[in-house]
């Protein structure tokens, strides 16, 4: 297991988990011991959020369109799994464990419904999965989850939060048009002065910066809302159980689908990772824009994000053990 954890930390994935935990602890302690400082810190959440959204869109990688029929078949399978079956699984789990805590339930639903568009590829690479196909899946996941977010939020937020007609779409447009324009303009400008390799290195550096921005945002959330969060600390055990069940059932889903369609190992790995990993950073940003002043919803998303890394580490261990066993059987 240590042989697996070492490359995870080398790739910065373990560092991300540590940063998120640090953000929670520092924010909570600051909010509890120094409320005046916490109020000042939390007042800057909007600028932090804006920077995060710009960077998330700036680092989107546009990849060649896949034309291979087998690859297109996999993409169709992954899209149906991620945007039909996974949200249904998430809704069932959240309803069972958090039916009496509607804000936490909505937060977990938002976390459950959005497939990852970044760090799942690191785990896919670690387990020798199909990273080129995964890269082609990234913009598809990003586009679909943003388009479907208003629909999912409308379906899952009934009687939980008050939403005015058209507020979701209007707010998303107002908050995201400007960051998208800034990000795209910056990318086009860079193409005029930098070559492909230089742009790739720059994008990698920005990707390494994003976890620090997320950790800062989490620190601000917990610093400004620690009293509210401490008042619901008893709910966190139910959230942990809900996320655990979600990870177990989505793993079973990916195993079933992989066997049903006889996916090769590289695609099996990719499907497992894209179904397991969720796009918590973007969903946290989107939710804070559309549903302001809802710290319980944000906390649910953060908890899911924090638990995701040990889960993906365990999945990597299981997949690599499976790969080694199959190799040994072929050589026997």
- pLDDT for 5 equals 44
Domain architecture of the chain: domains with CATH:
14-322 (1.20.1530.20)
| Average pLDDT score over residue span 13-20 | 72
Reported as a pLDDT band with limits 50, 70 and 90, residue 63 is low
Number of CB atoms found within 10 A of residue 193's CB: 8
Of the candidates 95, 91, 88, 143, the residue with the CA atom closest to the CA atom of residue 117: 143
Reported as a pLDDT band with limits 50, 70 and 90, residue 82 is very high
- Give the H/E segment covering residue 266: helix 265-276
Residues 6+ apart with CB under 8 A from 45: 217, 220, 221, 224, 288
Has residue 328 got a pLDDT over 60? no
Backbone angles phi, psi at 194, to 5 degrees: -125, 150
| Average pLDDT score over residue span 158-176 | 66
- pLDDT for 24 equals 86
Of the candidates 182, 178, 309, 304, the residue with the CA atom closest to the CA atom of residue 241: 304
Among 65-79, 158-172, 269-283, 285-299, which is the least confidently predicted range?
158-172
Provide the Cα torsion 260, 261, 266, 271; round to 10°.
-70
Q: At what angle do helices 196-230 and 35-42 cross, to 10 degrees?
A: 140
User: Mean pLDDT across the chain, nearest whole number?
Assistant: 82
Per DSSP, the chain holds a count of helices (H) and strands (E) of 15, 0
Burial class (CB in 10 A: 0-12, 13-18, 19+), 79: middle
Q: What is the pLDDT of residues 100-143, one digit of tens each?
A: 888 999 999 999 998 987 778 778 888 888 888 888 888 888 88
| Average pLDDT score over residue span 58-62 | 73
Among 27-36, 73-82, 253-262, which is the least confidently predicted range?
27-36
DSSP 112: H
CA 57 to each of CA 62, 139, 146, 241: distance values in angstroms, whole numbers, following the listed order: 11, 10, 12, 32
- pLDDT for 324 equals 54
Among 48-57, 117-126, 158-167, 320-329, which is the least confidently predicted range?
320-329
- pLDDT for 53 equals 83
Rounded CA gap, 116 and 95, in Å?
A: 23
Distance from the Cα of residue 256 to its chain's centroid:
23
CA 234 to each of CA 98, 110, 209, 226, 231: distance values in angstroms, whole numbers, following the listed order: 12, 21, 33, 14, 8
* Residue bearing the bigger pLDDT, 14 or 233: 233
- pLDDT for 308 equals 83
DSSP 291: S
Q: Which two tokens stand for residue 221?
A: 């959330």
- pLDDT for 92 equals 93
Rounded CA gap, 289 and 169, in Å?
A: 11
Cβ contact 138:57 at 8 Å: no
């Amino acid at each position: 297991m240590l042989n697996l954890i070492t490359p995870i930390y080398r790739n910065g994935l373990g560092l991300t988990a540590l940063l998120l935990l640090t953000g929670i602890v520092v924010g909570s302690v600051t909010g509890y011991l120094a409320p005046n400082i916490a109020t000042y810190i939390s007042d800057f959440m909007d600028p932090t959020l804006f920077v995060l959204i710009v960077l998330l869109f700036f680092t989107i990688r546009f990849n060649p369109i896949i034309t291979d029929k087998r690859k297109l078949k996999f993409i169709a399978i992954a899209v149906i799994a991620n945007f039909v079956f996974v949200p249904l699984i998430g809704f069932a789990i959240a309803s069972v464990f958090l039916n009496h805590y509607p804000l936490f339930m909505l937060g977990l639903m938002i976390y459950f419904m959005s497939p990852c568009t970044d760090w799942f590829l690191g785990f896919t690479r670690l387990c020798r999965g199909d990273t080129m196909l995964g890269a082609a899946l990234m913009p598809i996941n990003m586009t679909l989850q943003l388009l479907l977010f208003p629909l999912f939020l409308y379906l899952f937020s009934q009687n939980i939060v008050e939403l005015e007609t058209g507020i979701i779409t209007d707010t998303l447009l107002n908050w995201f048009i400007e960051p998208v324009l800034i990000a795209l303009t910056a990318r086009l400008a860079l193409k005029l002065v930098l070559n492909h390799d230089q742009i790739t290195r720059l994008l990698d550096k920005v990707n390494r910066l994003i976890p620090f921005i997320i950790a800062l945002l989490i620190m601000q959330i917990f610093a400004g809302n620690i009293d509210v969060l401490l008042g619901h600390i008893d709910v966190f055990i139910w959230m942990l159980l809900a996320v655990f069940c979600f990870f177990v059932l989505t793993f079973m889903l990916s195993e079933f689908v992989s066997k049903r369609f006889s996916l090769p190992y590289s695609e099996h790995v990719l499907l497992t990772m894209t179904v397991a990993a969720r796009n918590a950073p973007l969903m946290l940003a989107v939710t804070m824009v559309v549903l302001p002043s809802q710290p319980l919803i944000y906390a649910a998303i953060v908890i899911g994000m924090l638990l995701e890394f040990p889960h993906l580490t365990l999945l990597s261990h299981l997949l690599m053990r499976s790969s080694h066993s199959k190799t040994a059987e072929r050589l026997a």
